[in-house]
Amino acid sequence: MTEDALFHRVDALRREFDDSFAAEAVSGNVRSDELLALRLRGDPHLMRLADANRLLRVGPLLRYPSAATAWLGLTSVAGGLVPVYDLGVLVGYPPAGAPGPCGRCRARNVGRRRAGDGPGGA
């Protein structure tokens, strides 16, 4: 490689390096999630909406014994039977008894957040 060619190559690398700081930061590994804020046993929690199929008001339950402590029973949704679990138990709280009209949770959509934003950085 001639000295002139080397000089041009170094100059091109320097410009590429400098331009990388001027460009808008875009990364393929930055994730954006829609989050749902809810309270379980009075404590605040966040849940990714992508992890929820749907959030429904709990109707009358068909109860029967089960070894699963989170199991509450079955309810009817759109003509089919749907299993109902105590979300609090699934995340580590002790069983709370029969669910209220909303499965003992209040929820609201808190919008989009990038993964790593906010306290905890998760």
What's the DSSP call for residue 97? S
Count other Cβ atoms within 10 Å, centred on residue 42.
7
Dihedral, 79, 48, 109, 38 alpha carbons, nearest 10: 80
> What pLDDT shows up at residue 105?
44
- pTM (2 d.p.): 0.51
* Residue type, position 63, single letter: R
> What pLDDT shows up at residue 26?
62
> What pLDDT shows up at residue 1?
73
> What pLDDT shows up at residue 121?
44
User: pLDDT tens track of the chain, all 122 residues?
Assistant: 788 888 888 888 888 888 887 766 666 666 678 898 989 899 999 988 888 877 777 788 888 888 888 998 998 888 888 888 888 999 899 887 655 444 444 444 444 545 554 444 44
